[in-house]
Amino acid sequence: MLTLWGRPTSGRTQKVLWTLAEIGMEFNFILASATMGPGGHVSKGNQPFGVVDSAEYRAKNPNGRVPTIDDDGFVLWESNSIVRYLAMQYAPDLLYGNDIKTFASASRWLDWENNELLPPQHELAMHLIRLPENQRDPKAVDHACKLFHKSLRIMDEQLTRTRFICGERFTYGDIALGLRVHRWYLFNLASPPVPHVERWYAEIKTRPAFHKWTADPANHLEG
């Protein structure tokens, strides 16, 4: 059985969790993190889940980060690579129509999420939730919001042309963007009008796999 090391409050881990839920695949889930634990973020004096600093884990992932998977002896880290592997290995029809061009398009949006959505959203999570209040910076929040707004407009433009981010079918590219947009709306910040993103988001939220790990606000707002 596949083993996943990570934490449900990690966006990177959530990509993998949502993908596994779409596939309907059973797995062992080992809580691991250097920055978060049962009580929240280490910046507030909480103890992390740990594991990632152990020699055994570092032998699997020398970065000491999450997520990492072990699939019957095949070890893989980096969330985007894990999502692509799971899609190719277990659900090519479901997650990209078994079509190389659709796969490439979904891969592009997965990388775009990592480059454009993750950095400002990480700043928002730190300065809205995880850092002690006396360390939070309203200017950092404002700057991160502006960057995220820019990306939302890019998504909205794409979704004027397609039902989902890569075309008329759901793909693994929608998973990465879906969790970031969901977290954005849970932050309840002022947002530009993006009606096509809102239409897409409403449909994404109807998927049973979305409700398995991603829907719960606790996995986004607790720190």
Model pTM score = 0.95
> What single string gives the DSSP state of each residue in 168-200?
SS--HHHHHHHHHHHHHHHHT------HHHHHH
Q: How far is CA 152 from the centre of its chain?
A: 16
Could you tell me if 36 and 122 lie in one domain? no
Q: What is the chain's alpha carbon radius of gyration, rounded to the nearest angstrom?
A: 17
Q: Is there a single domain that holds both residue 191 and residue 144?
A: yes
Residue partners of 28: CB distance under 8 A and separation at least 6 = 1, 2, 3, 4
Mean pLDDT of the chain: 96
Residue 189 domain flag: yes
- What percentage of the chain reaches a pLDDT higher than 90? 94
Q: Tell me what the mean pLDDT of segment 49-64 comes to.
A: 96
Q: List, for residues 104-160, the tens digit of each pLDDT value.
A: 999 999 999 999 999 999 999 999 999 999 999 999 999 999 999 999 999 999 999
Whole-number pLDDT of residue 22:
98
Q: Rounded mean pLDDT of 52-79? A: 97
- Which pLDDT tens digit goes with each residue over 197-218? 999 999 999 999 999 999 999 9
pLDDT attached to residue 159: 98
Q: What is the pLDDT of residue 71?
A: 98
Q: Is the pLDDT of residue 17 over 80?
A: yes
CATH number of the CATH domain containing 128: 1.20.1050.10
For residue 66, CA distances in Å to 38, 104, 125, 137 come to 16, 24, 17, 27
pLDDT of residue 43: 84
Q: Which residues contact 215 (CB under 8 A, 6 or more apart)?
A: 182, 205
Q: Indicate if 104 and 207 belong to the same structural domain.
A: yes
- Domain residues for the domain of 43 are 2-94
Token code pair at residue 62: 């020398």
Residue 40 is predicted with a pLDDT of 87
* pLDDT exceeds cutoff 90 at 41: no
pLDDT at residue 223 greater than cutoff 80: no
- Give pLDDT, residue 74: 98
Helices 100-112, 172-187: inter-axial angle, 10-degree rounding? 30
Q: Tell me whether residue 223 is in a domain.
A: no
Domain boundary, last residue among 53, 72, 94: 94
Give me the pLDDT at residue 52, please.
96
At residue 222, the pLDDT reads: 77
Say which DSSP state 50 is in: B
- Residue ending a domain, among 43, 68, 94, is 94
Looking at 44, 67, 94, the residue that finishes a domain is 94
Question: In this predicted structure, what is the pLDDT of residue 127?
Answer: 96
